[in-house]
Amino acid sequence: MSKGVTPRSQDYARWYTDVVLKAELADYGPVRGTMVIRPYGYAIWELLQAALDSRFKATGHVNAYFPLLIPKSFLSKEAEHVKGFAKECAVVTHHRLRAAADGGLEVDPDAKLDEELIIRPTSETVIWSMYKRWINSYRDLPILINQWANIVRWELRTRLFLRTTEFLWQEGHTAHATEAEAVEEALRILDIYQDVIETEMALPVIKGVKSESEKFAGAVDTYTIETMMGDKRALQAGTSHYLGQNFAKAFDVTFRDQHNEEQYVYATSWGVSTRLVGAVIMAHGDDRGLRLPPRIAPYQVVIVPIYKDDTRAEVMEEAARIRDSISKNGTRVHLDDRDTVSPGFKFSDWEMKGAPLRVEIGPRDVAQNSAVLVRRDSGEKQNIASANLATFIPPLLEEIQTALFQQALDFREANTHRPQNWEAFKEIIDHGGFARCGWDGESETEAAIQKETKATIRVIPENQDPKGLKCIHSGKPALYEVILAKAY
Which residues bind to RNA, rule: CB under 7 A?
1-5, 22, 32, 84, 87-88, 153, 155-157, 162-165, 167, 214, 216-217, 236-239, 271, 273-275, 288, 306-309, 341-345, 347-349, 351-352, 360-366, 372, 374, 379, 381
Contact 229, 304 (CB under 8 A): no
- Give 60 or 344: the residue with its C-beta nearer to RNA: 344
Q: Is the peptide bond before 356 cis (omega within 30 degrees of 0)?
A: no
Nearer to RNA, 53 or 155 (CB): 155
* Other residues' Cβ atoms within 10 Å of the Cβ of residue 127: 25
To the nearest whole angstrom, how small is the minimum distance from the Cβ of residue 455 to RNA? 12
Q: Which is nearer to RNA, 135 or 359 (CB)?
A: 359
Q: In whole angstroms, how close is the CB of 157 to RNA at the nearest point?
A: 6
CB of 395 to RNA, least distance (A): 22
Nearer to RNA, 135 or 400 (CB): 400
Residue 371 sits at φ, ψ, to 5 deg, of: -150, 160
Minimum Å gap between C-beta 330 and RNA is 25
Q: In the bound complex, what is the minimum distance in angstroms from residue 249's beta carbon to RNA?
A: 21
Nearer to RNA, 32 or 94 (CB): 32
Q: With CA atoms as reference, report the closest residue to 268 among 248, 290, 296, 292.
A: 248
Question: CA-based angle 131:133:136, to the nearest 5?
Answer: 90
Specify the residue, 14 or 96, whose C-beta has the smaller distance to RNA.
Answer: 14
Indicate the residue among 164 and 268 with the shorter CB distance to RNA: 164
Q: Among residues 277, 279, 276, which one has the least CA distance to residue 228?
A: 279
- Min dist. Cβ of residue 247 to RNA (A): 15
CB 438 within 8 A of CB 472: yes
H helix or E strand, kind and range, residue 62:
strand 62-63
Strand 357-361 and strand 262-264: the pairing is unpaired
Q: How far is the CB of 418 from RNA (least distance, A)?
A: 25
What DSSP letter does each residue of 69-80 carry, written as one string? EEEHHHHTTSHH
Q: Is-contact 450 434, C-beta < 8 A? A: no
Closest to RNA by CB, 128 or 223: 223
CB of 24 to RNA, least distance (A): 10
Angle of helix 275-284 relative to helix 39-58, nearest 10 degrees?
A: 110
For the CB of residue 148, give the shortest distance to RNA in the complex, in Å. Answer: 15
Nearer Cβ to RNA (157/467): 157
Q: Which residues contact 300 (CB under 8 A, 6 or more apart)?
A: 294, 331, 332, 333, 355, 356, 357, 393, 397
Number of C-beta neighbours around residue 156 at 10 A: 10
CB of 10 to RNA, least distance (A): 15
Alpha carbons within 13 angstroms on the beta-carbon side of residue 36 total 9
| Secondary element (H or E) of residue 216 | none
Using DSSP's 3-state secondary structure scheme, residue 392 falls into helix
Nearest one of 219, 208, 212, 211 to 242, comparing CA atoms: 219
Pick 141 or 186: Cβ nearer RNA = 186
Q: Cα 86 to the chain's mean position, in Å?
A: 24
Residue 455 contacts residue 424 (beta carbons within 8 Å): no
- Shorter beta-carbon distance to RNA: residue 113 or 403: 403
CB of 348 vs RNA, minimal distance in Å: 3
Apex 249 CA angle, 248 and 252, nearest 5: 75
